[in-house]
Amino acid sequence: MTRGRIVLGGAGIALILFGAFRLLTEIAVPALEGLAIWLVVAVALHDGVLSPVVALAGRVLHRVLPPRLGRYVSGALVVGVGVSVITVPLVWRQGTQPAAKALLQQRYAVHLGWLWAAIGLGAALLYAGHVVRDARRRP
């Protein structure tokens, strides 16, 4: 192990211990219990629900779609899911704040629909370009 890695790892452990020390000494026990539950549930939801669903969706796409089309559908899904993940809480919280705050006043679900349409259109154009290129290459 090189000296650089030891310094890096040591700094990492020191920061973890510093953060943990501040948490344990400055945050009340019931709040810490809540935090511990959230940390465990976050990993459980990600590893136990979200990831298997995504892996399953990937397998289904791979089986159902021909590779050339699947390429653009998968790409569009990566873009669209990334955008959707941050939009879900926006939609959920929409309209909960006084108008003067100018907070959460947009029609986020409608905007997400526009963005999915734009992503779909972009993917369709790229796919069409690919089809045309392949057709030209064919003798």
Partner 1 sequence: MPAPRLQLPADPPRGWPRFDERLRTIAVTARLGRVLGIAIGVCFVTGLLSHYQYQPWSWLPEPAHPAWGYRFTQGVHVTTGIASIPLLLVKLWSVYPRLFAWPPARSLVHAVERLSVGLLVAVALIELTTGFLNVLAWYPWPWPFVAVHRFLAYVLVGSVLLHVAVKLPVIRSALARPVGADEPVAGGLSRRGLLTATGAGVALVVTTTVGQSVGRLEPLALLAPRRRDQAPQRVPVNKTAAQARVTRAGADWSLMVDGPRPFVLPLAELEAQAGAEARLPIACVEGWSVDAHWRGMRLLDVVHRAGGTADSTVYLRSLQPHGAYAHSIISGPQLSGALLATHLNGERIDLDHGYPVRLIAPDRAGVLNTKWLARVEIR
How many CB atoms sit inside 10 A of residue 119's CB? 18
CB 131 within 8 A of CB 68: yes
Give the total of residues touching partner 1 (CB under 8 A).
81
The DSSP code for 102 is: T
Within positions 60 to 89, which residues make up the interface with partner 1, using CB under 8 A? 61-62, 65-76, 78-83, 85-87, 89
User: Of residues 49, 53, 95, 97, which one binds partner 1 by CB under 8 A?
Assistant: 97
Write down the least CB distance from residue 137 to partner 1, Å. 15
Indicate whether 43 belongs to the interface with partner 1 (CB under 8 A). Answer: yes
116: phi then psi, degrees, rounded to nearest 5: -60, -40
User: Of residues 3, 26, 133, 139, which one binds partner 1 by CB under 8 A?
Assistant: 26
Write down the least CB distance from residue 39 to partner 1, Å. 4
- Cβ closest to partner 1, residue 60 vs residue 132: 60
Q: How many residues does the chain have?
A: 139
Element (H, E) at 71: helix 67-93
